[in-house]
Structures are given as C-alpha cells and as structure tokens.
Amino acid sequence: MDNTHAWRSAWSLAEGVTYLNNGSFGPTPREVSQARRQWLDRIEADPHDFLVRQLGPCQAECRRRLADLVGTAAENLALVENATVAMNVVADSVELRPGDEVLVNDHEYGAVLRIWERACRHADARLVVQPLHVPITGAEEVVETLFSAATERTKLAVFSHVTSPTAIVLPVEALCRRARELGIATCIDGPHALAMLDVDLDRIACDYYTVSCHKWLCAPLGSGFLYVHPRRQATVEPPLLSWGRALEGDAASWRDEFNWVGTRDPSAFLAVPAAIDFLTKIGVGTFRDHSHTLACYARHALSERIGARPLVPDSQEWYGSMISLCIAGGETETLQRALWEQHRIEIPIFAWQGQRLLRPSCHLYNGRDDIDRLAEASAALLKC
C-alpha cells in the first residue's frame, strides 16, 4: 500500500511544489516543528533558569539519542549547528605543519574543499585533490584510487560518507581501515548518511565525523553534531571562543567549549529527539526502502526518458535516498530555473568535472508521480 499521501500531510510543503531536494534542505515535519516551538516557550518562560540550570540535562538527552542512532557513546559527540561548523572545528584542531598534505577527492562538497584549502594555505601545507573517475564499479577501486595519492607527508584524509554532487555512498569502513594502516587520520563528512544509512561510528573508527541533522533525519535547520574519537578529543578546539563551561548536571569534558559559544537558541538541538521519534514511529527501514525505491525508479525513468547516465552500479550499496545522473544539453542554471519557474519542481543540478548532474533526492513525502513529473518536464525542456 502506498502511504505517500498520508506521509506528505505530515509536512507543511506548499501545494503544487514537487520537492525533490531533501538532500540540500530537508523540510521539518509538523510535529517536529511543534516540538521546537514548545522548547522555545519553555526557554522564554525563564531564559536564565533554562539556559543556566536546565539546558545541560536536556542537551545530554539529545546527545544520548543521537549516540544511540550512530553507534557510539554520547561522550564522543558535541552539538554544533551543522556539518560546516563541525568541519571548521576539525580544520582548526588538526595541527598542520609546512609541507604536510591533506588528501581529499574531487567528489567532495565545495564548502569542504574551501575549508581545507584555507587551512592548508594558512599552514603552508598542501591540499591534494585526487580524482575518482566515474562510473565507479567497486569499493577496492575507490580505496586504491584515493590512497594512490597518499605520501609520507599525508596527515589527514577527508572524504564523504555520501558525496553531495554525485550522491555516491563511499566505502568508509574500508577507507578508514586503509588510512589506519598508513598512519593517516580520517575525517568523514556525513550529513547525507544520517538516517539514510546505518551509521556505526565505533565500527567505522574514523577520527572525526561531521553531521547536519536537517537532511534525512528532518530535524530543524541549525542542528548538527561533531563526533571525535577519544584519541583526538584532547586536541579539539572550537573556532569561536566564549565562556565555554560544563553545564548543570554535566561532568567536565572536551565538549565544554561548545556548550557556551555566546548566547544562542538551543531549541533546534532540543527538538532532535522529536525528529528521531517521528522517523522511528514510521520505521527507519520503511523510510529507507521507500526512498531508495524512488531513487531507483528515478534512475530508470530518467535514463529511459532523457538518456540520463548513472555514475554507479544499480545497488543500494552505492546509492540510497538520492541519485545523481549525468544529463546532456543546455546550461545548468537555465534548466534548473526553468524546472522551478515553469513546473514548480525543486531539484539541484550541478556542473561537476565538465558534466551536468541532475540529483533527485526523495523522502517519505515523495511518490512516483513526482519522478514522472520530473521526467516529463525535463524531456520537454531538453526537447528529448
């Protein structure tokens, strides 16, 4: 039975909009938004009491729920606004010396590349961008290709769990295993993996993992976390320094500097358990099966209708709730604007390595009719 209509009613999406961009900005379900408003009311009732006396246990519960979701101890997580903030923390905490190298690949998110370009420039270190050519056919190919660019000067390898422009699930456990063999630290950019995939950080055993919760988990904008392995926690420093203190009910920890980085609204963090509850109630497996089935349907429908070319094998090992397909003809911005202005279809189109990628990303509120609408609109605009 298709429950898409009932699921869609759980969100506040505008009538007439085909929203295929959960991978960029996931809309928050109504009940999660309501939970956030309730937290705001509680804060406003007595800001001093809440921020000074109540916030610690509330944030501890958020960390505990997230830790259960990603297979680690709550002590290893610090709450930050998003993965970009978390990645900047890592860049400020990893000591780079002149001549050191940071290894990335050409599928990485643009902001991540900019962060490490600046970190390397300030340290007189070198950012090495290794191409991972598509189509990709196997995990060993990814591992061998990336680390063929490693040298004795490589200090850190930074890679996505799920790449942003190309929507590829990378073999992070194998990548981290090879990095450990080579004595290289690892930082994983993980915004797209949370909820879309089964994330087990203790098993992955990376050094750092950065997350935004507003994508597949559908928590409010401005909620995320940084995971730091115990072996690295003593060296972590936030880019913003304020009072930083142990909150009421908390023992002193490496996370203390992240508790108070100036006065801020903590309601987005505090509503994260409501987002976990929402997805759990429907079923995480139900969400994953539904969204992957739609991404698979998009792969075949767009290949057939407009000749789109996939970048990876047709397997859940390589893509989850979103998929990027290479399309021909036209200008990227022109097509994306036309899909929105003429058809009210919200979807990202990327110019990447001389190719043009269309990236439909799906959640519970999407159905096959959304993909059909995209295929027909794209065909009409591309004159296929």
- What string of DSSP letters covers 47-60? HHHIIIIIHHHHHH
Q: Which amino acid is at 273?
A: P
Please report the pLDDT score of residue 330 as a whole number: 66
DSSP code for 21: B
What is the maximum span of the chain, computed from C-alpha positions, in angstroms?
Answer: 63
Q: Residues of 2-26 as b/e, b for ≥16 C-beta within 10 angstroms? A: eebeebbebbeeeeeebbbbbbbeb
Inter-residue contact 319 to 298 (CB < 8 Å): no
Q: Average pLDDT, whole number, for the chain?
A: 95
Please report the pLDDT score of residue 243 as a whole number: 77
Please report the pLDDT score of residue 306 as a whole number: 96
- What is the rounded CA–CA span in Å between residue 83 and residue 11? 24
Please report the pLDDT score of residue 31 as a whole number: 97
- Long-range interactions of 36-41: CB distance < 8 A, separation 24+: 36/220, 36/267, 36/268, 36/270, 36/271, 36/274, 37/267, 39/266, 39/267, 39/270, 39/271, 40/265, 40/267
Give, to the nearest 10 degrees, the angle between helix 139-147 and helix 172-182: 30
For the chain, the residue count is 384
Inter-residue contact 166 to 352 (CB < 8 Å): yes
Please report the pLDDT score of residue 371 as a whole number: 98
- The three-class DSSP label of residue 260 is coil
Please report the pLDDT score of residue 333 as a whole number: 85
Q: Which amino acid is at 125?
A: A
- What is the rounded CA–CA span in Å between residue 35 and residue 273? 9
Q: What is the per-residue DSSP string for 270-330? A: HTHHHHHHHHHHH-HHHHHHHHHHHHHHHHHHHHHHH--EESS-SSTTT-SSB--EEE-SS
- pLDDT tens profile 316-341: 999 999 999 999 876 788 999 999 99
CA atoms within 13 Å, Cβ hemisphere of 29: 27
- Residue 185: strand pairing partners: 156
Residue 135: alpha-carbon gap to chain centroid: 22
Please report the pLDDT score of residue 248 as a whole number: 64
Inter-residue contact 204 to 176 (CB < 8 Å): yes
> How much of the chain, in percent, has pLDDT values that exceed 90?
88
Calculate Rg over the CA atoms of the chain: 21
pTM: 0.95
Q: Residues of 294-322 as b/e, b for ≥16 C-beta within 10 angstroms? A: bbbbbbebbeebbebebbbeeeeebbbbb
Give, to the nearest 10 degrees, the angle between helix 110-123 and helix 83-93: 20
Inter-residue contact 119 to 151 (CB < 8 Å): no
Residue 255: alpha-carbon gap to chain centroid: 21
Low-confidence ranges of the chain (pLDDT < 70): 1, 244, 246-251, 330
